[in-house]
Structure 1
């Protein structure tokens, strides 16, 4: 059985490593689960975030690395059980010159500019917090957003708090600081959940992956594999709680 997995360049979740081999926390989780259900060959398709959902929906590949589950996205694709839960964060230039600590802080400064990857949920959250369209610059890939942040075109890049910490620590070269976003006033505290996604016609593959994920997420082997990439119990526990709640 062969499966084609789509991924994007977004450490620590996925990226193209040495010898152009796909690697990362989400890639390794997919490999572990797929091999456990009998998949003998995995092909990797590097794409952009904006192409993940159309690509899997149209059958250009079989499975996407995890992304946040939303009601709108669930109309287009079928999601697996969740595999992590992670809040938002901002990546800013070292020293955080505009003292940005969340979307509301960006909205409060007329000259603050926020970079977001096309199609990511951070755009909707930022708008709900009052960030205006003319304050937002949209990029296709993380690399482009980091270049814009480095050069001062934007003042902050919005992504997951974990992903931004990894970028700042491992590849930021002292140029960036990661800041966890303050909760948006008036919203209930919650941790957005991420899951693999499939075409709605791929019921067999989805069911097999879900069966394995329910048995594997939160296991010692899972935690050890994810820890290599900076994902710990804080990121895994929200997904595990959701899986357990669904069983009741």
Structure 2
């Protein structure tokens, strides 16, 4: 009797070990499967919250000003808005007395600079804008080329951001796009604006922070809070 119990115990333990090894191999060789189930669980969580009517309400303090294609067509400038138009938009937003406002447009050099000074003046008068920049997230063995991005690093340094070490955090190895230095000088801050949908094309999460030249930099949306 004892021999049968001992044999059953050994079989049970052996089966558990084999199952654990097989599960580990599957997770190691096919991470896409586990990622797929992770996304399903996340969707299930939010669907359940919606079903139970527990979704948080949008704050009435948040206002979205959308400069979409219809707005551009109605203005008579379907492809490129004059800087004067942007300056007037900034002025109207400022008159609404916001605590801050984010600009998801990256202004760089253009051939026609008409109205550029007006935009700079309005942003300087407001001094509430948070401007975006785009980064490339990569391996920590590829350090950021500091000499190429001294202007934006200077702005970030002035914000006295936390210094991070070798934590497991998104590392910025390059700054792909950044707004004009003149706009950076008249802005209250800057934030990286990367948005990365999941493999199925659905946007579920945002990288709210990243490491840039040893500093903990915030996402544009996080910076607005």
Give TM-score, length-normalised by structure 1: 0.25
TM-score normalised by length of structure 2 = 0.26
- Larger radius of gyration, structure 1 or 2? 2
